[in-house]
Amino acid sequence: MKAIVPIFPQVLRATVLGVLLTTALPAHAEAPASLRERQERIIKVTSEVASSVVAIVPDFEAAQAKGVDAAMGSGSGVIVSADGLILTAAHVLQAVGEEFEVILSNGDKVKAKSLGKAYGRDAALGQITDPGTYPHVTRAEPGSIKEGDWALALGHPGGYEVDRSAPLRLGRILEKDVDGFIVSDCTLSGGDSGGPLFDLDGKLIGIHSSIGWRIAENRHVPMEAFEKNWDRLMKGDEWGRLGMRDRERPNRKPRPEAAPAEGPNPNQPMLGVSISPSELSGAMVDEVVDDSPARKAGVKVGDVITKVNGLGVDDGSGLISQVVKLKPGDEITLTIERGQETLEFKTTLVAAKDLMTK
């Protein structure tokens, strides 16, 4: 994956410059006005929204009081109301349990509870239960984004760190996929799940859901998925299933070979899974494509791929890196953690052009 750029208040300006300027300018040259304006806008927006980005972790005290094992998952979220309403991903709240803790941007911990979860859309609401007035952001109007728009991704990759505010990743909106998810090239990593995606006005446009087939294709839950189901989510309803979308997926069509930036190389080796960012070591499977090598091998949603051909996989990026080094027709061995079991599956990789036409 591309390098994660941490944002510290005292070096915010220098860091954003590092994101935007890939080639150093001569000492006498000035950045174009549009680039300078974009830089200032990103600095302003990030300083305004960063305090609303939170880390979500299990509540070990609550679990101990109930005499149950604490959950081991974690993720990110964003506060959208002064009383502490949180938007996040459904798989994050599934992983941390009904009662959880929220780590605010200043390091303070507060108690929270799960509200509703729309698993098929990976959309969820949580509520901070400790009284207080919390920094919050504004939700964008559904349908307000378009392909090519700049976007800012924040979250807590690797979990919350006391000496680091939520890192910023800058990218573009690539498309809305067939399931209605926003696809961007903003880098995601384990711990980012549930974190916010903003437009350059600082409005919340999406929630991080999963890493796509390529490193530079990451999916985010759009505001429509929340607004459409707002009443049910507020009531605490739970419905759907992770990896099973709310609408039937049409047959995948190959993308034009003339536009490789818009899709994988047609001859690229493919396993046929989408990966969710996770705090677990390994690549957590969010979706298994029908008739893919992964499906034929027996891989299931929720499995964590920890090795490919005996080589360790730290996260979704590591899985992609190992697979792309191979070629279609290669047989591979996957080591998978499924609950308390460690399993091994053999399968044969296929070319992207064959998988995407199935």
How many distinct structural domains can be found in the chain?
2
Does 283 lie in the same domain as 218? no
Q: Which domain holds residue 317?
A: 265-355
Residue 70 lies in a domain: yes
Does 222 lie in the same domain as 85? yes
Mean pLDDT of the chain: 79
Pairing of strands 238-239, 109-118: parallel
Does 321 lie in the same domain as 233? no
Which has the minimum average pLDDT: 42-56, 220-234, 310-324?
A: 310-324
Does 210 lie in the same domain as 126? yes
Backbone angles phi, psi at 279, to 5 degrees: -80, -15
Does 114 lie in the same domain as 39? yes
Query: By three-state DSSP, how is residue 172 classified?
Result: strand
Which has the minimum average pLDDT: 43-57, 59-73, 183-197, 337-351?
A: 59-73
Q: Is the pLDDT of residue 303 over 70?
A: yes
Does 272 lie in the same domain as 205? no
Closest by alpha carbon to 127, among 87, 76, 95?
87
Nearby residues of 231 by Cβ (< 8 Å), 6 or more positions away: none
Does 142 lie in the same domain as 82? yes
Does 295 lie in the same domain as 196? no
CATH number where 299 lies: 2.30.42.10
Annotate 280-302 with b (16+ C-beta within 10 A) or e (fewer): bebbbbbbbbeebbbbebebebb
Distances (CA, A) of 61 to 71, 77, 92, 166: 11, 21, 19, 25
- Which amino acid, 23? T
Residue 256 lies in a domain: no
Residue 72 lies in a domain: yes
Higher pLDDT, residue 335 or 3? 335
Does 345 lie in the same domain as 206? no
Write down the pLDDT at residue 96. Answer: 85
Tokens of 86: 């949180």
Residue 144 lies in a domain: yes
Does 206 lie in the same domain as 58? yes
Q: Is the pLDDT of residue 82 over 90?
A: yes
Does 222 lie in the same domain as 275? no
Residue 346 lies in a domain: yes
Residue 251 lies in a domain: no
Among candidate residues 243, 278, 294, the one where a domain is terminated:
243
Residue 259 lies in a domain: no
Residue 257 lies in a domain: no
Q: Is the pLDDT of residue 246 over 50?
A: no
CATH number where 152 lies: 2.40.10.120
Residues of the chain with pLDDT > 90: what percent? 36
Q: Is the pTM of this model over 0.75?
A: no
Which has the minimum average pLDDT: 41-45, 59-63, 94-98, 230-234?
A: 59-63
Among candidate residues 212, 243, 274, the one where a domain is terminated:
243
Does 193 lie in the same domain as 128? yes
- Which amino acid, 288? V
Write down the pLDDT at residue 251. Answer: 40
